[in-house]
């Protein structure tokens, strides 16, 4: 290993979980589970390939959390019953044999759902039709449906779904969980002013719009214990509104990040098209810098970090503690090993990667993805980067 990447390859911890380096696989949508939401042997091989390739941490695709409104896509994996728990065990066991750690991302699609085996309706904070159109690549077509307004009971069911899913992930052998609070999914829908028109304790001022995320974090923390890693993924960009910015600028960022830290998260995973870009306007600090400014939690950066020199500089400058890679990882499942050994990286070629009928068995092959720009490679759930 050359000294120029010494920080990337330095050991670190998230909570008490030791990591061999500071390189993670970003969560990326696959829709490659069975119709019943079961992880497959092909999925186990897929995730294990990255562990063999030197990634210290694997973060899974978004995994649905209940049998009501959480599923976003047909053939998305779930973590809500014993069969799904058992299916994921083959994945966690295989990855851990390669001396890597694996976290599960817990996802509730809310109003952005375009394929749910449990219901034909969608639900969100308010009766606001999501912007944009569904992705045909994942079986959707036309505009998103107008969601039903979540009742207080529905909201409590969302929280309890996340809690049960986190406990199930722990039982399945995952080393930690990441709450998907980004990219336009249900927690982000509550946070966003134009999708949340509620007049109750979950709507209005940003503190109220953030309330559901805080309650989810606190409930999961209580359920899994103080020693189990719990983090959250946050973004301004949405899969259906990639240019969205928080209206309150840095003031909103301060409230969001400090309250999430107070709620008990062990890391905040920022997903933006370019991790180092100014968060608001053409100058100023990035979102990762604002997390560093206002919290003492672990900061994971995602977005335009496939060039190792950029990732190394970000870590050396103290702007983040860890990086995740998506697009470059799709082109180089052994990205970490290649960087460590000074080998040339393959360029990302969208035409080669985008093989709609490719099975994961062929990957070394190519997973199903949507190219939405750097930091937005992956699937419609915005899991990418």
Instruction: Give strand ranges (E) for 209-341.
Output: 230-234, 267-271, 298-302, 322-325
Which of helix, strand or coil describes residue 123?
strand
Q: What is the pLDDT of residue 30?
A: 86
Give the pLDDT confidence score for residue 353 in this predicted structure.
Answer: 57
Tens of pLDDT, residue by residue over 118-138, are 999 999 999 999 999 987 767
Q: Provide the pLDDT for residue 351.
A: 62
Q: Report pLDDT for 140.
A: 78
pLDDT given at position 350: 67
Please say if the pLDDT value at position 381 is more than 60: no
Q: 260: alpha, beta or left, given left = phi > 0 and alpha = psi -120 to 50?
A: alpha
Nearest by Cα to 322 from 339, 298, 289, 287 = 298
Q: What are phi and psi of 23, to 5 degrees?
A: -120, 120
The whole-number average pLDDT for the span 5-17 is 97
Distance CA 241, CA 262 (A): 29
What gap in Å lies between CA 30 and CA 243, rounded to an integer? 24
Can you give the pLDDT at residue 138?
Answer: 73
pLDDT tens-digit series, residues 255-265: 999 999 999 99
Rounded mean pLDDT of 220-237? Answer: 98
Q: What does the pLDDT look like over 154-204, one tens digit per residue? A: 999 999 999 999 999 999 999 999 999 999 999 999 999 999 999 999 999
Mean pLDDT value of segment 199-213: 98
* Digit-coded pLDDT (tens) for 281-304: 999 999 999 999 999 999 999 999
Beta-carbon contacts of 262 under 8 Å, excluding residues fewer than 6 positions away, are: none
CB 230 within 8 A of CB 217: yes
Q: How far apart are CA 176 and CA 169, in angstroms?
A: 8
Annotated active-site positions, please? 185
Tokens matching residue 59: 């973060």
Confidence band, pLDDT 50/70/90 cuts, at residue 4 = confident
Q: Rounded to whole angstroms, how far apart are CA atoms 275 and 17?
A: 24
pLDDT, residue 384, reads 40
Residue 357 confidence (pLDDT) above 80 = no
Look over the chain and give the mean of its residue pLDDT values, rounded to a whole number: 91
Q: Which DSSP category does 384 fall into? A: B
Q: pLDDT exceeding 70 applies to what percent of the chain?
A: 90
DSSP reduced 3-state for 60: strand
Residue 361 has pLDDT above 70, yes or no: no
Tell me how crowded residue 18 is: count the other CB atoms within 10 A of its CB: 13
pLDDT in tens, 28-49: 988 999 999 999 999 999 999 9
**DSSP per residue over 130-199, as a string?**
PSSB--GGGT--SBPPPPEEPPHHHHHHHHHHHHHHHHHHHHTT-SEEEEE--BTSHHHHHHSTTT----
Which pLDDT belongs to residue 382? 38
């Amino acid at each position: 290993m050359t000294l120029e990447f010494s920080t990337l390859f330095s050991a670190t911890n998230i909570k008490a979980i030791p990591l061999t380096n500071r390189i993670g696989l970003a969560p990326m949508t696959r829709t490659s589970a069975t119709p019943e939401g079961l992880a497959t042997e092909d999925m186990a091989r897929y995730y294990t390939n990255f562990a063999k390739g030197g990634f210290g941490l694997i973060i899974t695709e978004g995994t649905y959390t209940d049998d009501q409104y959480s599923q976003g896509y047909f053939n998305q994996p779930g973590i809500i019953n014993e069969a799904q728990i058992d299916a994921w065990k083959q994945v966690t066991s295989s990855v851990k044999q390669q001396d890597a750690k694996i976290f599960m991302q817990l996802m509730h699609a809310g109003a952005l759902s375009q394929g749910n085996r449990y219901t034909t309706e969608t639900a969100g904070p308010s009766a606001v039709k999501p912007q944009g159109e569904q992705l045909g690549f994942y079986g959707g077509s036309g505009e998103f449906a107008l969601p039903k307004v979540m009742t207080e009971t529905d909201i409590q069911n969302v929280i309890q779904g996340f809690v049960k899913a986190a406990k199930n992930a722990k039982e399945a052998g995952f080393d930690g969980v990441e709450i998907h609070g980004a990219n336009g999914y249900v927690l982000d829908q509550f946070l966003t002013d134009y999708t949340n028109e509620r007049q109750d304790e979950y709507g209005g001022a940003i503190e109220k719009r953030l309330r559901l995320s805080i309650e989810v974090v606190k409930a999961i923390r209580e359920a899994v214990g103080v020693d189990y890693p719990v983090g959250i993924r946050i973004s301004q960009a949405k899969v259906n509104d990639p240019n969205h910015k928080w209206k309150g600028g840095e003031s909103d960022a301060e409230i969001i990040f400090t309250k999430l830290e107070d709620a008990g998260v062990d890391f905040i995973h920022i997903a933006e098209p370019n991790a180092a870009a100014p968060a608001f306007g053409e100058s100023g600090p990035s979102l990762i810098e604002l997390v560093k400014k206002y919290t003492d939690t672990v900061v994971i950066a995602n977005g335009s970090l496939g060039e190792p020199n950029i990732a190394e500089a970000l870590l050396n400058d103290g702007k983040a503690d860890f990086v995740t890679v998506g697009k470059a990882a799709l082109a180089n499942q052994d990205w970490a090993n290649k960087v460590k050994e000074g080998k040339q990286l393959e360029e990302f070629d969208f035409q080669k990667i985008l093989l709609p009928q490719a099975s994961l068995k062929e990957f070394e092959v190519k997973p199903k993805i949507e190219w939405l720009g750097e930091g937005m490679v992956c699937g419609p759930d915005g899991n990418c980067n």
